[in-house]
Amino acid sequence: MPRGNPSPKLAITVEPEVHERILAAAARDKVSVSAWMTRAARESLQRRAGLAAIAEWEKQHGSLTQEEMEEARRKVRAQLRTSRTLRRPA
């Protein structure tokens, strides 16, 4: 009998090419397919929430300027560089 709060299961159908790429990505990341899919879904949901937040902000304050967008891109690139550096195995 399961204890605690067991994770729900999903049955999904994907195109063969997508299936192969998921298996390869999970193997490359050294995680299970379930863990890889959960992370991919979580990242997609976070991206959607971020885009919704930006849309709401723009509705209240107006569209972001090109300068604001370029500054945001610079910050994201810097964060990605830092993130990749921290994740590299020693």
Residue that wins the pLDDT comparison between 58 and 6: 58
In this predicted structure, the answer to whether residue 90 has a pLDDT above a threshold of 80 is no
CA 79, CA 57: separation in Å to the nearest integer? 22
Among residues 19, 24, 20, 26, which one has the least CA distance to residue 40? 26
- Per residue in 34-58, pLDDT (tens digit) is 999 999 999 999 999 999 999 999 9
Instruction: Give residue 1's pLDDT band: very low, low, confident or very high (50, 70, 90).
Output: low
Please report the pLDDT score of residue 3 as a whole number: 76
Residue 21: HSE in the Cβ half-sphere, 13 Å Cα cutoff? 6
In this predicted structure, the answer to whether residue 62 has a pLDDT above a threshold of 90 is yes
Among residues 48, 14, 49, which one has the least CA distance to residue 33? 14
